[in-house]
């Protein structure tokens, strides 16, 4: 049987004040980035609870990207720093579970950084492509 | 409050792997405040267990529930149905909660998902410190409200030990010397004369040496 080419599904939580706007900007600038990413706008990355990352991966996302403001540039002062710590906590837990921690990543961009955001997304997609499908999803499919 | 911390996921999976249907039961009191066993942690640990079990090919179904308080029979009733329909319970309560569950549901395996660690307070965001050893006879009034039993590495009742350097403990230089704190506090409240009195050995009968302790209040009994 012909093996279908693996296309990662990436969930991107984008902060309204930076990454979401920079994704908009990337669109206006006609910058291409892979269509594998599903963007969810959040009021601030500090709003993201740790369980969101867990549930996303549990439900089959191949990767989860958290895109917040540059450090020091958070609209709510330190929301992105809170998010960074939470992401690191869950990355450690993913290792305990046996899932590659690279599937969860936080990046920092400003609203003017359309191109860097696109590069970050491309890099995340390529990282996850190399890792292969989320092992949880594989396991679901094999049953 | 009682402060606890989570066990790691491989250890938890090892504990529950023989069961097919598991209830992860959180507690809404102390362990919620110390971010170890509340609703959010139940959600995270349940997800982690489900994923971990799937990866190892174990057929584990995990249900999530958090009740107000696990160490109280009145609140335990809220979990009765969920406990009945699952094979085992992984309690994210403190040791008291786990045992209250086990005593009440005699035919159901109940496991501890947390390591109950101490009675303490939130020092700053994300940092908890032990403050009370529950020794049974409180001596805080003698020491300006700073407990030498809990906070002095040598549990000295007549300190300091002379090993401290500046205000640091010789056992662990990252810790403050409890006796330095006691001296400063007694000085601030004008009670330094308390230090002139040599304290006799403490009566430890009411501590943990005689097995578990009970308190009986006749005025509240029915």
Token couple for A143:
């049953």
Q: Which of B37, B10, B11, B6 is nearest to B24 (CA)?
A: B37
Q: Is A35 on the interface with B (CB under 8 A)?
A: no
Q: Is B9 on the interface with A (CB under 8 A)?
A: yes
The helix (H) or strand (E) run that includes residue A141 is helix A135-141
Q: Which among A51, A96, A140 has the least Cβ separation from residue B47?
A: A51
A101: three-class secondary structure by DSSP: helix
Q: In what order do the strands lie in the sheet with A10-15?
A: A37-42, A10-15, A63-68, A104-108
Tens digits of residue pLDDT in B70-111:
999 999 999 999 999 999 999 999 999 999 999 999 999 999
Chosen from A49, A51, A56 to mutate, greatest number of chain B CBs within 10 A: A51
Characterise A48 by phi-psi region: left (phi > 0), alpha (psi -120 to 50), beta (else). beta
- A69 CB neighbour count, 10 Å cutoff: 26
CA–CA distance, A74 with A51 (Å, rounded to integer)? 22
The helix (H) or strand (E) run that includes residue B164 is none
Contact A51/B44, CB-based, under 8 Å? yes
Tens digits of residue pLDDT in A124-140:
999 999 999 999 987 55
Q: Where are the beta strands (DSSP E) in A50-140?
A: 63-68, 104-108
Q: What are φ and ψ of residue B153, in 5° steps?
A: -60, -25
Inter-axis angle of helices A50-58 and A79-97, to 10 degrees?
A: 40
Tens digits of residue pLDDT in A29-83:
999 999 999 999 999 999 999 999 999 999 999 999 999 999 999 999 999 999 9
Residue B66 vs residues B32, B78, B211: alpha-carbon distances, Å: 10, 9, 31
Which single residue is written with the structure tokens 């669109």? Answer: A27
Q: Is B51 on the interface with A (CB under 8 A)?
A: yes
Under a CB-based contact definition with an 8 Å cutoff, are residues A111 and A76 in contact?
A: no
Contact A97/B54, CB-based, under 8 Å? no
Distance from CA of B69 to the nearest CA of A (A): 22
Characterise B14 by phi-psi region: left (phi > 0), alpha (psi -120 to 50), beta (else). alpha
3-state DSSP: chain A helix, strand, coil percent, rounded to 5? Answer: 50, 15, 35
Q: Where are the beta strands (DSSP E) in B88-146?
A: 88-91, 110-112, 114-124, 127-132
Note the pLDDT of residue A4: 75
Distance from CA of A21 to the nearest CA of B (A): 30
Q: Which of A20, A34, A114 is nearest to A68 (CA)?
A: A20
pLDDT at A110 over 60: yes
pLDDT at B211 over 90: no
pLDDT band at A143 (very low <50, low <70, confident <90, very high): very low
More confident residue, A137 or B37: B37
CA–CA distance, B190 with B193 (Å, rounded to integer)? 8
The alpha carbon of residue B149 and the mean position of all alpha carbons in its chain are separated, in whole angstroms, by 17
Note the pLDDT of residue A74: 96
pLDDT band at B68 (very low <50, low <70, confident <90, very high): very high
The helix (H) or strand (E) run that includes residue A94 is helix A79-97
Tens digits of residue pLDDT in A9-36:
999 999 999 999 999 999 999 999 999 9
Tens digits of residue pLDDT in B155-200:
999 989 989 988 999 999 999 999 999 999 999 999 999 999 999 9
pLDDT at B132 over 80: yes
Partners of A54 on chain B (C-beta within 8 Å) are 43-44, 47-48, 51
Contact B48/A139, CB-based, under 8 Å? no
The alpha carbon of residue A41 and the mean position of all alpha carbons in its chain are separated, in whole angstroms, by 12
Distance from CA of A84 to the nearest CA of B (A): 14
Exposure b/e, B68-89, CB count within 10 A at least 16 = b: ebbbeeebbeebeebbeebebb
pLDDT at A2 over 60: no
Under a CB-based contact definition with an 8 Å cutoff, are residues A89 and A54 in contact?
A: no
Which single residue is written with the structure tokens 């949880």? Answer: A136
Contact A54/B40, CB-based, under 8 Å? no
Contact A96/B9, CB-based, under 8 Å? yes
Angle, alpha carbons A132-A136-A138 (nearest 5°): 60
Tens digits of residue pLDDT in A59-73:
999 999 999 999 999
């Amino acid at each position: 049987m012909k093996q279908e080419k693996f296309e990662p599904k990436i969930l991107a939580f984008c902060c309204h004040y930076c990454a979401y706007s920079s994704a908009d900007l990337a669109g206006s600038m006609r910058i291409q980035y892979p269509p594998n990413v599903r963007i969810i706008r959040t009021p601030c990355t500090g709003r993201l609870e740790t369980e969101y990352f867990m549930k996303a991966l549990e439900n089959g996302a191949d990767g989860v990207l958290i895109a917040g403001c540059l450090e020091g540039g958070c609209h709510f002062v330190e929301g992105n720093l809170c998010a960074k710590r939470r992401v690191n906590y869950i990355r450690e837990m993913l290792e305990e579970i046996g899932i590659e921690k690279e599937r969860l990543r936080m990046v920092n961009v400003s609203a003017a950084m359309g191109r860097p955001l696109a590069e970050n997304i491309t890099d995340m997609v390529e990282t996850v492509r190399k890792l292969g499908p989320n092992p949880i999803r594989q396991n679901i499919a094999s049953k | 409050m009682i402060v606890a911390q989570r066990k790691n996921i491989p250890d938890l999976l090892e504990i529950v792997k023989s069961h097919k249907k598991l209830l992860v039961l959180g507690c809404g009191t102390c362990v919620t405040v110390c971010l170890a066993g509340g609703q959010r942690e139940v959600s995270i640990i349940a997800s982690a267990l489900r994923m971990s079990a799937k990866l190892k090919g174990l057929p584990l179904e995990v249900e999530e529930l958090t009740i107000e308080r696990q160490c109280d029979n009145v609140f335990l009733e809220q979990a009765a149905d969920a406990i009945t329909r699952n094979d085992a319970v992984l309690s994210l309560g403190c040791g008291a909660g786990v045992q209250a569950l086990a005593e009440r549901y005699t035919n159901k395996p109940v496991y501890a998902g947390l390591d109950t660690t101490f009675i303490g307070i939130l020092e700053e965001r994300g940092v908890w410190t032990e403050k009370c050893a529950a020794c049974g006879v409180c001596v805080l009034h003698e020491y300006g409200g700073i407990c030498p039993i809990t906070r002095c590495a040598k549990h000295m009742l007549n300190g300091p030990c002379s090993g401290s350097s500046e205000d640091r403990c010789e056992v662990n230089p990252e810790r403050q010397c409890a006796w330095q704190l006691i001296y400063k506090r007694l000085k601030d409240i004008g009670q330094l004369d308390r230090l002139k009195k040599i304290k006799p050995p403490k009566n430890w009968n009411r501590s943990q040496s005689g097995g578990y302790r009970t308190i009986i209040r006749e005025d509240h009994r029915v």
